[in-house]
Chain A
Amino acid sequence: MLELRDVTVEFDGFRALDGVDLTVPEGELRFLIGPNGAGKTTLIDVITGLTRPAAGSVRFGGHDLVGRKEHQIVRLGVGRTFQTSVVFEELTVIENLDLAAGFRSPLWSLARRRKGVSEAVAEALARTGLEELAERSAGVLSHGQRQWLEIGMLLAQRPRLLLLDEPVAGMSKDERARTGELLTEIARDHTVVVVEHDMEFLRRHASTVTVLHEGKVLVEGSVEQVGADPRVQEVYLGRRKAEDVVGNRP
């Protein structure tokens, strides 16, 4: 469903991505890992139109994404979250979700007041467990709740592909567990790509892992395969043992 071929991105001569190939079939939950500066976020930026690649192609469900505007890519069914979550603090939780859900309606049809809760919004509320907070303004949410709201906003858009950039960064242990459950549930009926640093989280929830290093794909495979790969161990060596990367924590 998502297919990147030979994607290269340069920032002032620095190659952030260098000939990356990546294929994510429909229905997969794919984890994207790699040391800092490996190009993980840049990769997501390229898919969502925030960064234009110098070379290569990005195809999604039969559409070429390169050169399309961000909002057009979203309308094709690609949703993303950011490392620092951005929710609209002045709006309530339900208004945030409703805003996300209404993105396909023409502008003039929005000139009416919101009446009730649409099915998509109700579903997103239920899945993220934010029903209790529905009428509260998003400004009062905790960090974890914000991330869930962001994921909820994605769900309300019913996208075909979700790109989550470090969804559990900065979360408490409980929040992480809760996010993990949410993720597993979402992965059941969506295609999901997750950028994540948290190794315990990865070990617990990942099926297929792609390791990026210095803008290139280093290895791709199951958690076990990747963990056993000597190149992966080398990339992470000096920082931490490969065991910690994808194996069991000591």
Chain B
Amino acid sequence: MPAFVNQLPIGLSIGAVLLLIALGLTFTFGQMGVINMAHGSFIMAGAYTAYLIGDLLLALPAAFLVAGLMGLVLERAAIRHLYARPLDTLLLAWGVSLVLQQLARDLFGAPNVQVPAPAWLAGGIGILPYNRLFIMALAVAGVVAVWAYLTRTGLGRRTQAVVQNRRLAATSGIDTGRVDMLTFFIGSGLAGVAGVAVTLIGPVGPALGEVYIVDAFLVVVAGGLGQLRGAVLAAVGLGLLNSYAEFWSDASLAKVIVFAVIIAFLQIRPQGMFVLRSRVLT
């Protein structure tokens, strides 16, 4: 029984990391139909930023900025030329991530590095270690910030307009190019923050992003397109499912179980938990 309970904070913190990653993915995906395979590299960039800076609280804004700028450059330089071809974008972004991974290997070396956790995160309340609690708090803060941005600011409302109907938004005077840039910046920045969070629960290596990115994509699939509440539910669900599947079976079967659950879920809700309704025949 205690082992069962101990699994809870692990699952929740994995869910929190996935959520931070998926927040960015779900909006670039929902808004532009872009599957950003390079998103994993932004996680890695965030983690190495934390490694270089060494101070957790300073690293958070720095990682946001670093990863955000990387996303911005990627969007401006390459992805925006391919908006009509989502599957091509996916492959292009993967090419970028290959380069970035190798770059990290050359800059920081192939072996993993460890980012020491600050002393004030040692210990915990009961079964809740402080470091995992911190990650969850970070995810909550991320969701609140994104929610506030989308509903409380003009730019955010414009972003939502673009998500719902790009052409209409463009004709009603919204500069969709600017909105795209900003969405990419924020989404990638959140991946950077997720990267910092990940340093609290494990070592940092060039392939760090790959560990999480596949699950983060599954969050997008299960959560539905461009949906905040879908992303939150799916991320937490997937985090818990992951950790409990590992707990009940063994680590090697866990991913297979998760995959089967996702496929089964799609039989009930093929378009994810929440759907933007549209009468257009695609």
Mark A residues whose CB is within 8 Å of B.
11-12, 50, 82
Contacts and interface: CB of A to CB of B under 8 A. Distances in A.
5 contacts: A11-B277, A11-B279, A12-B277, A50-B281, A82-B281
* A-B interface, 5 closest residue pairs, ranked by CB to CB distance from nearest: A12-B277, A82-B281, A11-B277, A11-B279, A50-B281
Interface in B257-282: 277, 279, 281
Contacts of B281: 50, 82
Nearest to B281: A82
Interface in B225-282: 277, 279, 281
Contacts of A82: 281
Dominant secondary structure of chain A at its interface with chain B: loop
A11 B281 CA distance: 15
Contacts of A11: 277, 279
Interface in B52-68: none
Contacts of B277: 11-12
Contacts of B279: 11
A82 B282 CA distance: 12
Nearest to A11: B277
A248 B279 CA distance: 34
Nearest to A16: B279
A203 to B, nearest CB: 29
Nearest to A12: B277
A51 B279 CA distance: 9
Interface in B110-151: none
A238 B115 CA distance: 71
Nearest to A84: B281
A194 to B, nearest CB: 19
Nearest to B279: A11
Interface string B159-201: 0000000000000000000000000000000000000000000
A56 B277 CA distance: 22
A12 B278 CA distance: 11
A182 to B, nearest CB: 24
Contacts of A50: 281
Nearest to A51: B279
A50 B281 CA distance: 9
A84 B144 CA distance: 41
A50 B280 CA distance: 11
A46 B153 CA distance: 40
A12 B279 CA distance: 12
B269 to A, nearest CB: 16
B168 to A, nearest CB: 16
A144 to B, nearest CB: 21
A146 to B, nearest CB: 16
Nearest to A45: B279
Nearest to A50: B281
A82 B281 CA distance: 9
B262 to A, nearest CB: 24
A83 to B, nearest CB: 9
A215 to B, nearest CB: 14
A11 B277 CA distance: 9
Contacts of A12: 277
Nearest to A42: B279
B164 to A, nearest CB: 13
A50 B282 CA distance: 12
A120 to B, nearest CB: 26
A11 B276 CA distance: 12
A208 B277 CA distance: 34
A24 to B, nearest CB: 23
A147 B279 CA distance: 21
A11 B279 CA distance: 9
A12 B274 CA distance: 13
A143 B46 CA distance: 51
A163 B89 CA distance: 38
A98 to B, nearest CB: 23
A50 B279 CA distance: 10
A53 to B, nearest CB: 15
A11 to B, nearest CB: 7
A30 B279 CA distance: 25
